[in-house]
Structure 1
Amino acid sequence: MTLPTDLDNDADALRAAMVKGLAGADPSAGAGVPMHPAWLAAAGKVPRHAFVPGFYLPADAPGAQGLTVWEPVTSELDYGRWLAAAYSDATLITQFDGEETDWERPAVRHGGAPTSSSTLPSLVLRMWSDADVSEGHTVLEIGTGAGYSTALACERLGSSHVTSVEVDPVRLRTAADALYGCGYTPTLARADGLYGYWPEAWFDRIVAACSFRSVPPALLRQTRPGGKVLLPLSGWLYGNARVLLTVAGDGTAEGPLLPGSISFMPARTHAAPAYGNPADWAAGLHEVRSRSVRHAPERITVATEEAFHLRFLAQSAVPDAQMVTVGGVLHLIDVVSGAVATLAPEGGAWEVREGGPLKLWSLIEQVIDAFDAAGRPGPETYTLRVDGKGQRLLPAHGLRLQLPRGY
């Protein structure tokens, strides 16, 4: 691609404006600790546009069948839109469904699942700030992605202190080209972040740019005693949380959930499995007697911070369940146990039918009951403890909430 001769001047001005906006953002609108000035300084030096030569932005209106229309953006297609987006506080999608785009001849996409992106700068800076990183620390980043976050760590800590792993070889090669082109030389490796990266261990900090169903044990074993691991957590109900764990010398770890409702793409090895046709699952419930629900599904489905947090807690009670709505009927499907539940609106209320070895919605209602009885506590009131007994959320308000066993 041919870039304009005044690119550097245009980028400098837009980057300065972006950093000024990030520095002036309301701290109460974010999560965790305030953004560290050193990370803002790094953002003022790293040319984000070098890491996103092409990406997708959603069109203003959906396409056929309500699918999102994703428009390709490059400097050649629309220089102004490309550069403005590169220095906006927005996530830029760079890959769908694990398929690479030919950015010399990109095409409009209809729907698809994003599988790689350049995360919005405010969230990247928030993650590095929340991880309590200081000069002299060695860090492992899980999920190199486009490489922008890696560049920020190199800018602040020095390339020799940064290791970043990426499972996708094409993504890694593209990020490496951009990093080396900007003068950054971290240790890069194609590896599954589930297992960290033993050749460079131990680390003072491990920070993941993808989410896990539970804390991978290898990450704790690769962290120095007293070191910290910042992980996004998610699951098959798409309930999300973030935890900052401090690792003890005996290999146990403990730390608080952080406030806010931030979400990340799941690690590919932790992604939800296909469940088939919901109608097949529901077919066996026609003879099951329904009951009125104590809590409507909106408690965990509406777009509020409390619902996102409550969904994460509910997910801990039914970790193998997935949720899909078809024709106004909500299906809960557990491909591991074979349990299923359907919730359907009946005369202004909701009725539930449950089948299989687990009563999925009943278990979720127990979590909601305990949550309400405890005064609806926020995520920062919970601690995750990882030890020989598993990965437990404390306090569980009378319930035993545990993440799936580490992988």
Structure 2
Amino acid sequence: MTGTRPDIDADSAPHGAEAGADAAAVPLRAALAENLAGQGVLDSPAWRSAVETVPRHRFVAGFYAPSGHADGLTVWEPVTARAAPARWLETVYSDTTLITQFDGDEPDWTHPAARLGGAPTSSSTLPSLVVQMWADAGLADGHNVLEVGTGTGYSTALACQRLAGTGEVTSIEVDPRRLEQAAGALYGCGYSPDLAVADGLWGYWPSAPFDRIVAACSVRRVPSAWLAQTTPGGRILTTLSGWLYGYARVLLTVTGSHIAEGPLLPGTISFMAARRHERPAPGNPAHWAHLTSASPAREARHAPTRLDEATLTGFFARFLAQLAAPNAQVATQPVDGGRDVRHLLDVTTGSAATLTATTGGGYNVRQAGPRRLWDDIETAWDAWDHAGRPGPEAFRMRIDQDRQTITNPHFPELTFTLP
């Protein structure tokens, strides 16, 4: 049973600088709650109370902040309570995602070092999104909940505080060092969820069945174990992603054995991929270019720069491209003369497409292999444009045994099968 103890007892009460941070955090938590309420995120007094109560700073001993560039890479500066207490505490209680780990390398926050580049592998997600996810999933009193991806434990603590002993929370994490730190913070704050080091793609049978499964990572397809471990009428909230780094959230209701259906949710977010769903290394782009070099060229109807549009519409266009070519990824190759050359590569079939900028501002495309990757993407974009570019909320996902599809009910040509 999930227990909460918002007031730390005498034996575990913080002392010295830590106690000072606890006291200074109280008004900052109130301000954060007010900020989230203004955004319309806190839809109930119970969630507002959770944000005002859970001490996020106890879950973030340090984080990395960008501080410039060197050799074309971002310099990441560690920010900790010891080195910069005011900056650390103020940032922790802002509505910001805090990067806490790169490349699976757990930092020593007592003696942290700056980093040059790297791939983020763990973070404390911005509070507004954490609360929104729990609220979208419909977390309510009495629920048995599985969280996939404990991370720092802050999201776990919010769920424990919200249920306040009326339900059960299980949280699993694939990284044992990350879970160890999260466990220390959770238990130190008086929360007692069930925690385990486990691969989240398999769910967690010992605590099943669940009323809600919420994933703090992204997946290429919804694992069948999640459906098997969800009660009939229960819900699964996760983020779909892929090797083109397109993202969309989906809220599924399980209606039968390995059958579920539900809408994509509006907006866009990005979550780190479940580690077994990360894209594979494609190799040297020049080697892939050799596959397309003898193929005939045609003028592309859509420029590959459409994959880069940093707007809500652009983000969903990337997700649709990913649905159309689910095993494709993008690589670039430096070419003399400054031309923009991009390669779409499919390591599963050996298909490739090379798009080269022309002097007239367009692009030529050459394709090879069993899949015409750019043809597939352009066909999807043509249909989407013709439909008036409906947003993610106009699409639904259905799972029926091993088949997972996303479709627009009003435009059947916008139907895609997940890999």
Instruction: Give TM-score, length-normalised by structure 2.
Output: 0.91
Q: Secondary structure at the match of 2:354?
A: strand
Distance 1:83 1:267 in 2: 30
Measured after TM superposition, the shift of residue 55 of structure 1 is: 1.2
The separation in 1 between residues aligned to 2:20 and 2:164, in whole angstroms, is: 29
The one-character-per-residue Cα deviations of 1:217-273 (angstroms, maximum 9, x if unpaired) are: 110111110010001110011110010000013431000000001111100011111
Distance of 1:390 and 1:69 partners within structure 2:
43
Correspondent of 2:32 among 11, 14, 18: 18
Instruction: State the shift of 1:13 in Å.
Output: 1.3
Give the aligned partner of residue 156 of structure 1: 162
Tell me what 2:244 maps to.
Answer: 237
Aligned residue type for 1:228: R
Correspondence 1:45 to 2:57: no
TM-aligned CA distance change 1:278 to 1:36, over 3 Å: farther
Quote the offset at 1:181 in angstroms: 0.2
Q: Which residue of 1 aligns with 2:273?
A: 266
**Contact kept in structure 2, 1:36 and 1:129, CA below 8 Å:** no
1-structure distance, mates of 2:44, 2:277: 31
What are the superposed Cα offsets for residues 163-202 of structure 1, whole Å, 9 maximum, x if unpaired? 0000000001110000000000000011111010000101
Distance of 2:283 and 2:182 partners within structure 1:
35
Offset from partner CA, 1:365-389 (integer Å, 9 cap, x none): 0000110111111100111000036
C-alpha deviation, 1:286, in angstroms? 2.3
Kindly state the Cα deviation for residue 4 of structure 1 after the two structures are TM-superposed. 5.3
SS in 1 for 2:404: strand
Whole-angstrom distance in 2 between the partners of 1:144 and 1:274: 27
- Deviation for aligned residue 1:34: 6.6
Indicate the residue corresponding to 2:418 in structure 1.
403
Structure 1 letter corresponding to 2:344? L
Partner of 1:102: 108
Deviation, 1:38, is 2.0
**1:393 match:** 406
Alignment counterpart, residue 294 of structure 2, candidates 287, 290, 312: 287
What is the rounded CA distance, in whole Å, between the counterparts of 1:34 and 1:221 in structure 2? 31
For 2:236, what is the secondary structure of its paired residue? Answer: strand
SS at match of 1:307: helix
SS of alignment partner, residue 17 of structure 2: coil
- Give me the whole-angstrom Cα distance separating, in 1, the residues matched to 2:383 and 2:347: 26
Query: Using the alignment, how far apart are the partners of 1:367 and 1:35 within structure 2?
Result: 37
Any idea what SS the aligned residue of 1:172 has? helix
Aligned pairs for 1:161-180 (under 5 A) are: 161-180=168-187
User: Which residue does 1:205 correspond to in 2?
Assistant: 212
2:299 partner amino acid: S
- Distance in 2 (CA, whole Å) between partners of 1:273 and 1:250 is 32
Q: CA RMSD in A?
A: 1.6
SS of the residue aligned with 2:388? coil
Q: Using the alignment, how far apart are the partners of 2:147 and 2:333 within structure 1?
A: 38
- SS of equivalent to 1:214: coil
Q: Which residue of 2 aligns with 1:333?
A: 345
Q: Which residue of 1 aligns with 2:369?
A: 356
Q: Report the Cα offset of residue 3 of structure 1.
A: 2.5
CA distance, structure 2, for counterparts of residue 72 and residue 316 of structure 1: 37
Residues of 1 paired with 2:413 and 2:239: CA distance?
25
Asked if the contact 1:258/1:380 (under 8 Å) is kept, the reply is yes
CA distance in 1, matches of 2:318, 2:42: 26
Tell me the SS of whatever aligns to 1:210. Answer: strand
Q: How many residues align?
A: 396
| Structure 2 unmatched ranges of 5 or more | 1-14, 335-339
Q: Which amino acid aligns with 1:268?
A: R
Deviation at 1:35, TM superposition (A): 4.0
SS in 1 for 2:53: coil
Structure 1 residue aligned with 2:64, among 56, 67, 81?
Answer: 56
Q: Please give the secondary structure, in 1, of the residue aligned with 2:190.
A: coil
More strand by share: 2
> Conserved in 2, the CA contact under 8 Å of 1:370 and 1:397?
no
The 1-side partners of 2:63 and 2:194 are apart by 25
Are 1:315 and 2:328 matched, yes or no? Answer: no
CA contact 1:374–1:397 (8 Å) conserved in 2: no
Tell me the CA shift for residue 323 of structure 1.
Answer: 1.0
In 2, Cα distance between equivalents of 1:118 and 1:106: 18
Tell me the SS of whatever aligns to 1:284.
Answer: helix
Change in Cα spacing, 1:287 to 1:141, as seen in structure 2 (3 Å) is same
Equivalent residue for 1:91, pick from 91, 97, 114: 97
Given that 2:407 and 2:414 are in contact with CA atoms closer than 8 Å, whether structure 1 keeps it comes out as no
CA distance in 1, matches of 2:212, 2:85: 38
* Structure 2 CA distance for partners of 1:214 and 1:4, relative to 1, 3 Å: closer
Q: What's 1:30 paired with? A: none
Residues 92, 38 of structure 1: alpha-carbon distance in 2 compared, 3 angstrom cutoff: same
Cα 1:303–1:326, aligned 2, differ >3 Å: closer, same or farther? farther
Give the SS at the match of 1:260. coil
Alignment partner of 1:377 out of 381, 390, 395: 390
Contact 1:285 1:353 in 2 (8 A): yes
Q: State the Cα distance separating 1:136 from its structure 2 match.
A: 1.0
Query: Quick check: 1:48–1:86 contact (8 Å CA) kept in 2?
Result: yes
Alpha-carbon distance in structure 2 between the residues aligned to 1:210 and 1:399: 26
Letter in 1 for 2:268: S
